[in-house]
Structure 1
Amino acid sequence: MRYLHTMVRVKDLDASLHFYCDLFGLQEVRRFENEKGRFTLVFLAAKDDMDAVRAGLAPCLELTYNWDTEDYTGGRNFGHLAYQVDDIYAICQKLMDNGVTINRPPRDGHMAFVRSPDGISIEILQKGADLPPQEPWASMPNTGAW
């Protein structure tokens, strides 16, 4: 398992980039804009981590900017922790067998979400190529919020 990133939602991307980059000293690693989903993702890293991040060896801070305005209350601006695993089905099965609810099952062999005992959302991503869809995951519905 490898720790990938921490995601926070931001209301004003320019103001956030000014804070995190210009004032705090982080650097932009990559950016992804999704017109259909109406959001922008910006991944940031500390200057001393840039080589490791480019090599896939250090985690990033992900800023998620949703183009449609929303007030984030009750910690909603904090999104999730993300981990990459060798076998998404195996880790989800282990978690489920031990009483953890799979909030967003890995129907696509790529991504799942669970929550910690304290309600922290955790994204689980398949390392490498997506695994072929398989049951029980392929037909399992979402449960709760993720």
Structure 2
Amino acid sequence: AQQAQQKQQQATQQAAQQAQQKQQQATQQAAQQAQQKQQQAAQQAQQRAAQQVQQKQQQAAQQAQQQAQQRQQQAAQQAQQAQQQAQQRQQQAAQQAQQQAQQRQQQAAQQAQQRQQQAAQQAQQRAAQQAQQRQQQAKQRQQPPPNKEPQKEQ
């Protein structure tokens, strides 16, 4: 009876130990699986956050590059406009200078022509006056004055 009771106790203890071991293994497996799931979820969340940060950085970099390009283009356009305006001002100044020079040349030519005409008229008048005076003097020599002797030839 004692042997039977000991065997029964051993069998009971073994069964209890085996059940306890199985329960511990199941608990450990469940804990490991839960921990793995938590780690995976944490990694995924970290990756998503990193991707979002990277995307935001890329977008910010692209926007900054586009703005810099736009500013460069605007500056280039403004420089081109300034150059065109400077060219126009130079052309206008050159045209005005040329017109003024032409006007001065025309005025000088007109004044020279007037002086030539005046000189020619004066010379013609003097020549005509001298010829008239010589004619009058010749007539006076030819006609003796009344009540006087004829002039002796000098």
TM value normalised by structure 2: 0.12
Higher percent of residues as helix: 2
| RCO comparison, higher one (Cα < 8 Å, 6+) | 1
TM value normalised by structure 1: 0.12
- Larger-gyration structure (1/2): 2
Higher percent of residues as strand: 1
